[in-house]
Amino acid sequence: MVKMPKSNVNELPSKGPDFEKITINLGYVDLGQIDLMVSEGFYSNRTDFIRTAIRNHLDRHADVVKRTVTRNTLDLGLRHYSREDLEKALASGEQLNIRVLGLLTIAPDVTAKLARATIASLTVLGALHASVEVKKALSERMK
């Protein structure tokens, strides 16, 4: 057996999904038309069709989205708050008004007490990934 030397490489934490699952209800005719487009080879499956339709619709309204993001001063995309970020805010006496369009993650080691002490308001248009305790602690501050 060959002994391998210890590596200086640190393992990265596992990455979460880049998507959020949703469920929709469709009428039989709409579903049949989607299945027809899939069977004719225009799309690889129902999900591919629906994703493409949503992206096309969002592209058509991109100007409205950009204006709204600017007007509401939203962070667009992915926003992560670590325990260190919130501890710095606490040390400086800063109250955060977090507004995100996309995905907001709050690190798993953030306590409910720290979140309550530093986050004054929270608006997420998209998805929030945080511990159950943090979500509960901030529930009254979510818009």
pLDDT 10s digits, 104-137: 999 999 999 999 999 999 999 999 999 999 999 9
Average of pLDDT values for 47-76? 85
CA dist 73 and 121 (Å) reads: 14
Q: What is the dihedral sign for C-alpha 127, 104, 53, 61?
A: positive
Look at residue 60 and tell me whether its pLDDT is greater than 70: yes
Look at residue 70 and tell me whether its pLDDT is greater than 90: no
Average of pLDDT values for 86-107? 93
Beta strands in the chain (DSSP E): 75-81, 96-106, 119-129
pLDDT of residue 137: 96
Look at residue 5 and tell me whether its pLDDT is greater than 50: no
pLDDT in tens, 28-57: 999 999 999 999 999 999 999 999 999 999
How many CA atoms are closer than 13 Å to the CA of 60, on its beta-carbon side?
Answer: 6
Look at residue 143 and tell me whether its pLDDT is greater than 90: no
Global pTM?
Answer: 0.60
